[in-house]
Amino acid sequence: MRTAPTTSRRGLTSRWGRIAVGAAVVAVAAMLPLLAIDIPGVLPGPTYTPGTLTVLAYAMLIAALALSYHLIFGVAGMLSFGHAMFFAAGAYGLGIVLRLLAPTGIPSEAVFLLAIVITLVIALVLGNLVGALALRVSGISFAMVTLAIAQAMNVMIRRNVGGLTGGEEGVTLTVDVVPDWLVGVVNTRNLYWLALAILVGVYLACAWVERSRLGHVVAAARENELRVTVLGLRPYLVRLFLFSTAAVLAAVAGMGFMLLQSSATPRISTSDFTLTLLVIVVLGGVGYRWGAIVGGIVYTLLDQRLAALASSDAIAGLPDVLRIPLSEPLFILGMLFVLVVMFAPGGIVGLAHRVTRRRGGSRDAREPAVLQDMEA
């Protein structure tokens, strides 16, 4: 579908070429904790330091989350405003189940594995329930239902319903039942590798789903519902499968987040957090898997660096008219997003494609098909 144009199935654009590039990127990413690369202005410090590794690990988890959102928004063309709830389900689920199981006397390794499995099951059930309800409507109504459900979840988490979620304080990780190699600042590089593994895993899962028959059916249903129905498939069930798959993948990223941050707060279940995902996917390029990853990493790093910039002396000395907007990262990111939507609808990856294709002499990049289809 969205593979390279047939005219240039050679070199880096062929399938094996791209697998090689992907493997090389992963290998370089895996080596970072062993190296001392310092990119001032982009990273907070050299790549082996825990601070930098934490930022990078966080960026990769957000990228993984964005990838799972890409399945719903970019592939199926469904605008969900509730995706953050599955990320929160992963983070909160792992934290709560670990805390509940910790005093039972089961060996800690078993507790850890069991907690992961239980959390995945919770995410699967939640994904199917929410999807089953929300997918009965489509378009803007679907967006509203997901928004409303996510909002209700957020309220329940904040209110500490059943004494499980800890209200505004959130949930902290019960470290005694977590394997030692994932605990503490000294093990940050292990957490980094875990985050990388999660990102790669989610990427492969998304690639597999997109290339499977189901993925093609969902993409086709986005363009023409009737055609799929004629093929004897029920778009509802296919979409539900995709929705719950994305929910589980988001929960996986959420679990990684819990292990990395050692705590979860209601912030990760807000609709604003889902809107951030939307921003990331569009910023990176709607419809491209790489777009979600690039968007996730660029967004997180920008967010971090803009926050650092906000508290810098250079900004503090400016007059209010400049100082106030520049010291609000979300303001700058929001306006950047608006500009991308208005002037570069293909996002970062779309721009890159346009540049490389023009150089290759072929026709200019397509507009993101998803955006057109959703309007039809």
Partner 1 sequence: MTAILTVRGLDARIGGQQVVEDVSLDVAEHGVTALLGRNGVGKSSTIKALLGLTERTGVVTFAGERIDGLLTHRIVQRGIAYVPEDREVFGGLTVEENLRLAERAGAPNRAIIAELFPELLERAKQQAGTLSGGQQQMVSLSRALMNENRLLLVDEPTKGLAPRIVGTVTTALEAAAERTPMLLVEQNLQVVRALAHTVVVLSGGRVVHTGPATAFLDSDLVHRHLGVSTDQEAA
Partner 2 sequence: MTTVLLLLITGVGLGALYFLVASGLSLIYGLMGVLNFAHGSFLTLAGFLGWEVGRRVGDGSWAGLLVGMLVGLVVGALVAAITELVFIRALYERHIEQVLVTVGLGLASVALFEGIWGTDPIQIRLPEWLGQTTDVLGANIPNDRWLLIGSAALVLVLIVLFLQRTSYGLVIRAGVENRTMVTALGIDVRRAFTVVFAIGGAAAGLGGVLASVYYGQVGAHQGTSLLIYAFIVTVIGGLGSLSGAAIASVLVAVIQQFANFYLGGTGDLAVVLALAAVLLVRPTGLMGKVTH
User: Six-digit token pair at 221?
Assistant: 């249903």
Quick one: what does residue 226 bind among partner 2, partner 1, none, with the CB cut-off 5 to 8 Å set by partner type?
A: none
Owner of token pair 């660096």: 305
Residue 127 beta carbon to partner 2: minimum distance, rounded to whole angstroms: 16
Asked if 224 touches partner 1 (CB under 8 A), the answer is: yes
Site track for partner 1 across 343-372, x = CB under 8 A: --------------------------x--x
Least distance from partner 2 to the Cβ atom of residue 336, Å: 8
Nearest of 367, 368, 53 to residue 195 by alpha carbon:
53
Q: Which residue in 265, 258, 283 sits closest to 177, CA to CA?
A: 258
- Answer yes or no whether residue 38 interacts with partner 1 by CB under 8 A: no
User: Which residue's CB is nearer to partner 2, number 29 or number 275?
Assistant: 275
Verify binding: residue 376, partner 1, rule CB under 8 A: yes
Binds 224, which of partner 2, partner 1, none (CB < 5 to 8 A, cut-off by type)?
partner 1
Beta carbon of residue 340, minimum distance to partner 2 (angstroms, whole number): 8
Q: Is the dihedral of CA 28, 32, 37, 41 positive or negative?
A: positive
SS (H, E, C) 55-79: HHHHHHHHHHHHHHHHHHHHHCCCC
Residue 140 or residue 376: which is nearer to partner 1 going by CB? Answer: 376
Tell me how far, at minimum, the Cβ of 316 lies from partner 2, in Å.
13
CB contact at 8 A, 203 and 289: yes
Three-class SS of residue 175? helix
Kindly tell me which residue out of 128, 144, 354, 373 binds partner 1, with binding defined by CB under 8 A.
373
Give φ, ψ of 155 to 5 degrees: -65, -45
Query: In whole angstroms, how close is the CB of 225 to partner 1 at the nearest point?
Result: 11
Does 104 sit near partner 1 (CB under 8 A)?
no
376 binds, among partner 1, partner 2, none (CB under 5 to 8 A by kind): partner 1
Q: Which residues inside 164-223 make contact with partner 1, applying CB under 8 A?
A: 223
Supply the minimum distance, in Å, between the C-beta of residue 218 and partner 2. Answer: 17
Is residue 229 near partner 1 by the rule CB under 8 A?
no
Strand partners, 146: none
Q: Quick one: 145 or 173, whose CB is closer to partner 2?
A: 145
| Rounded distance between C-alpha atoms, residue 67 and residue 84, angstroms | 13
Nearest residue to 157 (alpha-carbon basis) of 267, 300, 255: 267
Q: What are all long-range contacts of 294-297, with beta carbons under 8 Å and residues at least 24 apart? A: 294/348, 294/349, 295/63, 295/66, 295/347, 295/348, 296/59, 296/60, 296/62, 296/63, 296/64, 296/65, 296/66, 296/67, 297/59, 297/60, 297/62, 297/63
Q: Which residues bind partner 2 (CB under 8 A)?
A: 79, 133, 136-137, 140-141, 143-145, 147-149, 151-152, 155-156, 159, 271-272, 275-276, 278-279, 282, 324-325, 327-335, 337-338, 341-342, 345, 371, 374-375
Select from 340, 22, 344, 317 the least CA-distant residue to 199: 22
Q: Which is nearer to partner 1, 104 or 372 (CB)?
A: 372
155 contact choice in partner 2, partner 1, none (CB below 5 to 8 Å, kind-dependent) = partner 2
Name which of 183 and 374 has its Cβ closer to partner 2: 374
Residue 86 and residue 277 in contact, taking contact as beta carbons nearer than 8 Å: no
Q: Which is nearer to partner 1, 314 or 376 (CB)?
A: 376
* Binding residues for partner 1 (CB under 8 A): 223-224, 369, 372-373, 376
